[in-house]
Structure 1
Amino acid sequence: MSDLTQSHNEVIEASWKRCRSFGLNPKSAPAIIRLNKGDWEDAQGKSRDLIVTTQEQVLPYYENILVNSNSLVLLADSSGNLLSRWGRPGFINQMESHLFEQGTSWLERFNGTNAVGTALQTGESVVVGRDEHYLIANRYMTASAAPIFNSERELVGVLNISSDAYLPTSHVNGMVKVMTQSVENQLIMATYRQHYYTLVFNNSEDNHTSQWAGLLVFNDAGEIVAANRRADLLVGHVLKGLNIEMVTGITTLKLSAHPENQTLSFLGISNYRLFGTLKRPLTNMIRAPQSPLSSVKIKSEPKPTKIASGERQLSDLDLGDMKMQKAIKRAASVANSDIPLVIQGETGAGKEVFAKAVHASSDRADKKFVAVNCAAIPTELVESELFGYVKGAFTGANNKGSMGYIRQADGGTLLLDEIGDMPLHVQARLLRVLQEKAVTPLGSTESYPVDFRVISATHQPLREAVFKKQFRDDLYYRINGLTLFLPSLSERSDINALVIHLLDGLTVGDSPPISNEVLRLFEQHPWPGNIRQLVNTLRVALALSGGSMIHLHHLPDDFFLDLETPSEKPEATPHEQIEMTPSLVVSWRESLPELYSATEGNITRIAELSGVSRNTIYKRLRELGIK
């Protein structure tokens, strides 16, 4: 059973437990609790923008699909009160008609487990199958719902699609998520479009303006004042409050001068190549006070920085660390073959940079390198994003269809980052593509031949996932021609050389000097965020130093927080407590195997008991040949 299924089951089980605590009986009818006239008018007024945005700007794009699928759309406010509904499928005649009147509550305490109430309770998208409804009276329909957040990330409502038809729940849930994000995007645009710059972006040129794109808003000082959740996910950071230059690697001045509706490409702090379109304010900008980060520019950029170009070869990554040298040497020996590679390393250790270097060092270097972050694509959309689809292939599909990432990589290299997060049914289709060297888009009967080098990346051991039945063993042996292990930053012996290398790549022209005291602290730092954290630290330091020598006071505050040692360790819960016998407190070579066995391989717990970092535990386990 996958983690996704376990998570879903846990959500339903927790909801049923709450229903029992409310005193509900599965055989009882839903309680009809409605707002009085005055409270309803207040609720309606408070949610007017939400209602109008959903009805006038989002639903028209999906109306035909919904009519044909015998579906009912419900919009509720943050208190679970029904604001509006669209569609009238036959199954609602089987239900109490007052349930669908405006102002009726759909909270779990009155209506049992249901998509609207449970989505409000969890703050996440929810699918509730027929028999998963707590009340038997509601078990003739399936429902998917997702919460809606405004530009300030406040939960303002829930959008729900219910149906009595046996529709694929993955597509319906995907459609709810896309519609919800469309509503959120419109709310953000309504708040900021008049006076602020907006950047719509995604991880492919083909979909960077789709409904599932990231959206951020920034002022003329470069400060990001709002962003949707998709944008945070694509970049890997909470974007609000950051400077646009840190995020894109492009100066605010240069970005604001970019032509509208012309695609731009950037790397920035995400370490993934992203594609976007800029829109300027509709009226004159409201100038915000300059923050320290936004007021100090690194340098104007006549050309992209060397890191942004991403054209480094394997030899450029050799800075003296023996573990990196081993990985580089092995990768170089098979660079011109089609042997599939698996790159394993902690999050932020530079797996995509390494994969790009393999591509740049191969005879496919003049072809396209396509990176797909499997963890960043909603589960319901992974299949269509990878394999593509034809017009009308499923609910919510783009009218023009989509080529898909695999066909985009034809002739070049395809990186499947965090491949361990790929759903099992998608793994089966990928295996077939790798075996047949052809891909069939969703909704099509035509296959297209493809030729690409596949590189997979993961932060988790795929062997363990195979053992747990979370990853197909046949696909594992297909993609695992050679596994390369990248060390975490705290394990590397070449940190000083790496810092100089990164500074050179982050600047145009000569890179600024860096003080010895900063370099010494860099060597002592645990770097839980690995190279990604180091790059971000250097970006901030460059901005604050203005291109002069980098000193301690130019480093961000959270850099120093990681250096602090906690005064006391958290108390272990009873089931985690392990008796520390004399045999467990001798040298680590003797104690570690016993600790590993006693904790069932819980690295975090072993680190707590040993008083060292998780990275150190991983390092020692590898030395002992345990992991």
Structure 2
Amino acid sequence: MIENQLFAAAYEEAIKLSFHSRPEFLGTLMEGIASFTPGGRFLSASRSGLFQLGLPMSALQTHTFSSLFGMPISALMDHYRTASPGPLELCLHSGVRVYAKCTDLRLPTTSFQHTTSNARSTDAEPATATAAPPSSHEQSKARLSSLRYLNTGDEQVAVVIDKLKKVIGRDISILITGETGTGKELLAQAIHNDSPRKAGPFVAVNCASIPETLIESELFGYEEGAFTGARKKGSIGKILQANGGSLFLDEIGDMPLNLQARLLRVLQERMVTPLGSTKSIPVNVALTCATNRNLRDMIARNLFRDDLYYRLNGLVVRLPPLRERTDLDVVIDKLLAAEGNGVRYTVAPAIMDMFRSHGWPGNFRQLTNLMRTAMVMAGDDHEIRIEHLPDDFLDDIATTIPAAGKSVNATTHDDLATLEDVELSVIQQSLAAHDGNVSATARALGVSRNTIYRKIHP
């Protein structure tokens, strides 16, 4: 516990998160501690924290709260602004679920609201009211979050951006659809940054991450004494926080059915009535929503209101998944430039071919984390090669190889023209025998995993 106390003292002004995969270990010497700036940038971690995060300190320096724990740091602040905040259940970048809490989080009156200005980057969250002005680096990253920057050469994306440019500032609701990880919030932020409201707040609300019992008070606000545990002076709610700016409702398909009627009323009347209040407050917001669900199917199953759907879908655009895009090379170049901290990284041609053939089920979220890890592993080489890629990604690649198990013809070695063909045939048959398991195949053949990958992807 002495180490944890020293760590807390060393980062007294930072946001300190205690976490562990078992909730009963919170508050003990087994818990991990990580510290972050109010903007979400990683600062340091205790020894237990480093062990649980599974990354060296040098790699963690490139991460943010969002990339490590899967939620924006502003959502953490929002959680601790509720009446009775308990431990949070978060998901590490590795997929491990942990329980977390902030023991001494300071929340000044105007600090840590879930609002963002046009100086916000895609991974960082707003700083406190007393924080220093954004750095030039942060401002440059914010300027990149625009529709022009997102147009990287894919025809489908170009069509989406062209449509959006025509409706921005026209008081038309926008509904963004697409798979998880396709960049829906980034697009919503770009819409705000290119709109006449860019000087106003950008308020993002993930409807799936707020418990159903809290979402009404979080969205609409509440008066003091509105319910048991309500904090003094109440809360204005997310909709009123966005007044004069943009409101982004992510995962709108997860909004409880009983609240959909209230939201529709607010959108139609442009008035918000906080819980426990008899006074309606005028509100003026530009609305953007996003979902990865089929709302029409939900309407048919009485899970989503049709009148709200037709109010939200002024313009519906679909972001294509990464596997359908034709601009992967440009996207990777931009990622490398943005994450390289001034160091120029490249991708080996064979690895780029591998990337083009991959399905990318996690889309940009998967690609971004993969590239961050690969850049750290590459170190001073500055060229990302197969040995710099995580084993789980290589296993995924191996399972997508058509010859990795099911389509190996009964071709004899005498029919093969070269030694390379013989080697490839043996590897394919061994992969088939081991159900595509690369590690087991490598052990059976007495070679390394990298040799298997190199032979499959010459």
User: 2:170 aligns to what?
Assistant: 337
Alpha-carbon distance between aligned partners in 2 of 1:532 and 1:189, rounded to the nearest angstrom: 31
Q: Distance in 2 between matches of 1:318 and 1:342?
A: 19
Give the whole-Å Cα distance in 2 for the aligned partners of 1:463 and 1:327: 21
Residues of 1 paired with 2:155 and 2:202: CA distance? 27
Match of residue 234, structure 1, among 57, 68, 71: 71
Unmatched runs of 5 consecutive residues or more in structure 2:
1-17, 54-67, 73-88, 97-104, 129-133, 407-458
Q: Is the 8 A contact 1:389 1:402 kept in 2?
A: yes
Match of 2:352 among 514, 519, 526: 519
Q: Which residue of 2 aligns with 1:494?
A: 327
Aligned counterpart for 1:398 among listed residues 192, 216, 231: 231
- Give me the whole-angstrom Cα distance separating, in 2, the residues matched to 1:543 and 1:222: 19
- CA apart distance, 1:558: 2.0
Query: 8 Å contact 2:115–2:204 — kept in the other structure?
Result: no
Query: Could you say which residue in structure 2 is the equivalent of 1:454?
Result: 287
Q: Does the CA contact (< 8 Å) of 2:70 and 2:93 recur in 1?
A: no
Task: Provide closer, same or farther for how the CA distance between residues 418 and 260 of structure 1 changes in structure 2, counting only shifts above 3 A.
Answer: closer
Aligned length: 335
Q: Which residue of 1 aligns with 2:21?
A: 153
- Which residue of 527, 538, 550 maps to 2:384? 550
Offset of residue 403 of structure 1: 1.6
Give 2:27's aligned amino acid.
M
Letter in 1 for 2:92: L
Q: How many Å apart are 1:305 and its aligned residue? A: 6.1
Question: 2:288 is paired with a residue of what secondary structure?
Answer: strand
Residue aligning to 1:326? 159
- C-alpha separation between the residues in 2 aligned to 1:200 and 1:378? 26
Match for residue 389 of structure 1 among 198, 217, 222? 222
The one-letter code sitting in structure 2 at the alignment partner of 1:218 is A
**Cα separation, 2, equivalents of 1:517 and 1:379:** 48
Matching residue's letter, 1:511: R
Note if contact 1:439-1:447 (Cα within 8 Å) is conserved in structure 2: yes
Is residue 503 of structure 1 aligned with residue 327 of structure 2? no
Match of 1:189 among 23, 27, 44: 27
Which of 160, 181, 197 does residue 364 from structure 1 map onto? 197
Residue 496 of structure 1: how far off its partner (Å): 0.4
Partner of residue 317, structure 1: 150
Counterpart residue number, 1:534: 367
Partner of 1:475: 308
| 2:27 alignment partner, SS class | helix
Sort the Cα spacing of 1:217 and 1:376 in 2 relative to 1 into closer, same or farther, 3 A. farther
Q: Give the C-alpha shift of residue 398 in structure 1.
A: 2.4
Question: 8 Å contact 2:33–2:49 — kept in the other structure?
Answer: no
| 3-state SS in 2 of match to 1:546 | helix
Q: CA RMSD in A?
A: 3.9
Deviation at 1:564, TM superposition (A): 2.2
Cα offset, 1:234, TM superposition = 2.8
**Distance 1:450-1:273 versus aligned 2 partners, 3 A rule:** farther
1:560 aligns with 2:384: no
On the 8 A contact 1:306/1:505 being kept in 2, the answer is no
Q: Give the drift of 1:303.
A: 6.1
TM-score (norm 1): 0.48
- 2:50 aligns with 223
Q: Which whole-Å deviations, capped at 9, do the CAs of 1:224-261 have from their partners, x for residues lacking one? A: 648xxxx9563697328799xxxxxxxxxxxxxxx987
- Contact map agreement 1:374 1:417 (CA 8 A) in 2: yes
| Structure 1 segments (4+ residues) deviating >4 Å | 195-201, 240-243, 259-267, 270-277, 301-308, 566-569
Counterparts of 1:400 and 1:240, CA distance in 2: 37
Aligned counterpart, 1:415: 248
Q: Distance in 1 between the 2:258 and 2:360 partners? A: 36
For residues 233 and 464 of structure 1, do their structure 2 counterparts lie closer, same or farther at Cα, with a shift above 3 Å needed?
A: same
Shift of 1:505: 2.0
Q: Is the 8 A contact 2:203 2:246 kept in 1?
A: yes
Alignment of 1:39-188 (within 5 A): 152-154=20-22, 188=26
Are the counterparts in 2 of residues 218 and 224 from structure 1 also a CA contact under 8 Å?
Answer: no
Task: Pick closer, same or farther for the CA change 1:423–1:154 going to 2, 3 Å.
Answer: same
- Give the share of equivalent positions with the same residue, in percent: 41
Q: 1:470 to 1:316 in 2, by over 3 A?
A: same
Task: Report the 3-state secondary structure (helix = DSSP H, G, I; strand = E; otherwise coil) of the residue aligned with 1:484.
Answer: strand
Hey, what's the Cα distance between the residues in 2 that align with 1:151 and 1:452?
Answer: 36
Letter of the aligned partner of 1:544 in structure 2? M
Take 1:416 and 1:459, find their aligned partners in 2: how far apart are those partners? 12
Q: Which structure has the higher relative contact order (CA within 8 Å, separation 6+)?
A: 2
Superposed displacement of residue 394, structure 1 = 1.5
**CA–CA separation in structure 2 for the residues paired with 1:318 and 1:152:** 40
Matched residue SS, 1:189: coil
Gaps of 5+ in 1: 1-149, 157-186, 209-215, 244-258, 278-300, 570-627
1:485-520 CA-partner distances (Å, limit 9, x unpaired): 110000101100111112222233353222212211
Q: Distance in 1 between matches of 2:344 and 2:135?
A: 15
- CA shift at 1:352, angstroms? 0.6
Q: 1:500 corresponds to which letter in structure 2?
A: D
Distance 1:260 1:308, change over 3 A: farther
Q: Distance in 2 between matches of 1:310 and 1:378?
A: 33
- Secondary structure of the structure 1 residue equivalent to 2:199: coil
